[in-house]
């Protein structure tokens, strides 16, 4: 007698919209790589003090405009034998008496041992955990090594870039959140109600978009009192950047709401007794949330570039706040760039990498959220 298999055939797994979006996103290799790169940059922002090898505000008059120091792997010990030893060569400063220009030469016989999880200046990990451990740096905290060079006060550029990541990348996130709230609220009201509300909000958007960006920033930044503490200035600059970023999102939300407000599930929600606010936030916004996420991801680099431009022009964040924009301000004149090109190359490279990674990530999310994209 033939034995009949009574086990049911496994039905194919049904994937939700977010799972389908994730599967499609992973096929976009550049965007997937950019996701990890953006995550690494934000990890650097979260653990800034741990990754910074030196105190970013510590000056060193013997290291003014010191060039980048390379990492060497092998050194000779007391017996003359070569052995593995992470180290950097000490720099000897010389001043040309005729031109009064500084120059640095590596000291071949004097090395600075390097190591992992070394002790250094005190900082607060994640903003509240006191610590003196650093991921990589000189074994002796009294020794100074500038892996990306030093500025006009002898401050370490690498440490300042790492700490500047906290401000520049957080301004992008905070600015996007503010733009999200304003853009979705005003754009939703405009598309949902229409009529005079739509006309009023659209004329407001057109007025803001018609104002030249730089004069608008300058006018808003000029209203910031010079005596304000750095933290308050930081939040005001974030609001200034957000004043421009919400208009594009509001236009996109308005268009989506115009196409959704007469759909059957929206009419059913109204007949069910839901308020207009509940219909907007419980049914209409979630129906195209993936598109909003993609749009916000593309808006973050614009926020970062806006902060960088404001600080570079001297109307944004000011020292002692450290951001990528204030670091670029150090390289405003040709003489400084000729004498210390790393002041422009180091922070400029970080801005380019972060902006490109966020743009690629946003493009990948937008393609993954679009059901018609291939």
Whether the predicted pLDDT of 81 surpasses 50: yes
Whether the predicted pLDDT of 44 surpasses 80: yes
Burial track 102-115 (b if 16+ CB lie within 10 A, e otherwise):
bebebeeeebbebe
Count of domains for the chain: 1
Predicted confidence at residue 11, as pLDDT, reads: 46
Percent of the chain at pLDDT exceeding 70: 92
Residue 247 belongs to what domain range? 32-47+161-369
Predicted confidence at residue 16, as pLDDT, reads: 67
- DSSP assignment of 66-110: PPP---EEEEE-TTS-EEEEEEEEEEEEEE-TTT--EEEEEEEEE
Asked if 232 contacts 297 with a C-beta cutoff of 8 angstroms, the reply is no
Whether the predicted pLDDT of 270 surpasses 70: yes
Please report whether residue 246 resides in a domain: yes
Question: Which pLDDT band, with edges at 50, 70 and 90, does 280 fall under?
Answer: confident
The whole-chain average pLDDT of the chain stands at 82
Please report whether residue 222 resides in a domain: yes
Percent of the chain at pLDDT exceeding 90: 13
Please report whether residue 148 resides in a domain: no
> Cα 164–165–168 angle (5° rounding)?
85
Predicted confidence at residue 156, as pLDDT, reads: 92
List the single range of 20-29, 120-129, 363-372 with lowest mean pLDDT: 363-372
- DSSP assignment of 268-319: HHHHTT--HHHHIIIIIHHHTHHHHHHHHHHHHHHHHHHHHHHHHTTSS--T
How is residue 141 written in tokens? Answer: 């905290």
Q: Which residue has the higher pLDDT, 344 or 296?
A: 344
Predicted confidence at residue 13, as pLDDT, reads: 58
Whether the predicted pLDDT of 186 surpasses 70: yes
Partners of 6 in the β-ladder: none
CA distances in angstroms from 122 to 197, 211, 327, listed in the order given? 54, 46, 22
Give the 3-state secondary structure percentages of the chain, helix then strand then coil, rounded to 5.
55, 15, 30
Predicted confidence at residue 215, as pLDDT, reads: 77
pTM score: 0.82
Could you say which DSSP state residue 228 is in? S
Question: Which pLDDT band, with edges at 50, 70 and 90, does 23 fall under?
Answer: confident
Angstrom distance (rounded) from CA 190 to CA 256: 11
Predicted confidence at residue 7, as pLDDT, reads: 53
Asked if 347 contacts 161 with a C-beta cutoff of 8 angstroms, the reply is yes
Please report whether residue 76 resides in a domain: no
Name, in order, each residue with C-beta under 8 angstroms of 209's C-beta and a sequence gap of 6 or more.
247
Asked if 72 contacts 84 with a C-beta cutoff of 8 angstroms, the reply is no
Question: Which pLDDT band, with edges at 50, 70 and 90, does 33 fall under?
Answer: very high
Partners of 83 in the β-ladder: 75
Residues 259-269: what's their mean pLDDT?
A: 83
Residue 86, Cβ density class (10 Å: 0-12 exposed, 13-18 middle, ≥19 buried): middle
Please report whether residue 267 resides in a domain: yes
Residue 249, Cβ density class (10 Å: 0-12 exposed, 13-18 middle, ≥19 buried): buried
Name, in order, each residue with C-beta under 8 angstroms of 208's C-beta and a sequence gap of 6 or more.
243, 244, 247
Please report whether residue 121 resides in a domain: no
Question: Which pLDDT band, with edges at 50, 70 and 90, does 159 fall under?
Answer: very high
Asked if 136 contacts 148 with a C-beta cutoff of 8 angstroms, the reply is no
Residue 338, Cβ density class (10 Å: 0-12 exposed, 13-18 middle, ≥19 buried): exposed
Residues 104-112: what's their mean pLDDT?
A: 82
Whether the predicted pLDDT of 24 surpasses 50: yes
H/E run at residue 113: strand 102-125
**CATH number, domain containing residue 320:** 1.10.3720.10
Q: Among 372, 293, 292, 367, which Cα is nearest to 24's?
A: 367
Predicted confidence at residue 36, as pLDDT, reads: 94
Whether the predicted pLDDT of 348 surpasses 50: yes
Whether the predicted pLDDT of 168 surpasses 50: yes
| H-assigned helices in 194-212 | 195-210
List the single range of 72-81, 133-142, 177-186 with lowest mean pLDDT: 72-81
Please report whether residue 93 resides in a domain: no
Please report whether residue 117 resides in a domain: no
What is the bridge-based pairing of β-strands 72-76 and 102-125? unpaired
């Amino acid at each position: 007698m033939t034995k009949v298999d009574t086990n049911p055939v496994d039905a194919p797994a049904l994937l939700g919209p977010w799972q389908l979006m994730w599967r499609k996103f992973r096929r976009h290799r550049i965007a997937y790589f950019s996701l990890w790169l953006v995550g690494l940059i934000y990890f650097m922002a979260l653990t800034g003090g741990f990754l910074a090898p030196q105190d970013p505000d510590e000056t060193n008059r013997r290291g003014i405009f010191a060039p980048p120091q390379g990492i060497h792997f092998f050194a000779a010990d007391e017996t003359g034998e070569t052995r593995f030893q992470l180290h950097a060569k000490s720099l000897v400063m010389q001043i040309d008496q005729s031109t009064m220009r500084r120059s640095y030469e590596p000291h071949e016989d004097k090395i600075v041992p390097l190591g992992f999880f070394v002790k250094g200046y005190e900082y607060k990990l994640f903003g509240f955990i006191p610590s003196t451990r650093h991921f990589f740096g000189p074994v002796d905290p009294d020794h100074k090594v500038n892996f990306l060079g030093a500025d006009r006060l002898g401050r370490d550029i690498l440490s300042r870039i790492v700490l500047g990541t906290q401000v520049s990348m957080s301004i992008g996130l905070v600015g996007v959140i503010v733009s999200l709230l304003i853009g979705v609220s005003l754009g939703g009201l405009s598309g949902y109600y229409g009529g005079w509300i739509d006309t009023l909000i659209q004329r407001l958007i057109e007025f803001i978009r018609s104002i030249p960006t730089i004069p608008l920033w300058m006018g808003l930044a000029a209203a910031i009192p010079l005596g304000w503490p750095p933290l308050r200035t930081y939040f005001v600059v974030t609001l200034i950047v957000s004043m421009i970023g919400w208009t594009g999102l509001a236009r996109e939300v308005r268009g989506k709401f115009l196409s959704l407000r007469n759909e059957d599930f929206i009419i059913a929600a109204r007949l069910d007794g839901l308020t207009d606010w509940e219909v907007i936030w419980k049914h209409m916004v979630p129906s195209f949330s993936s598109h909003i996420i993609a749009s916000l991801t593309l808006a973050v680099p614009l926020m970062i570039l806006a902060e960088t431009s404001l600080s570079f022009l001297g109307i944004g964040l000011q020292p002692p706040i450290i951001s990528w924009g204030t670091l670029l301000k150090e390289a405003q004149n040709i003489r400084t760039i000729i004498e210390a090109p790393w002041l422009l190359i180091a922070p400029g490279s970080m801005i380019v990498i972060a902006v490109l990674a966020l743009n690629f990530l946003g493009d990948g999310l937008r393609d993954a959220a679009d059901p018609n994209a291939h």
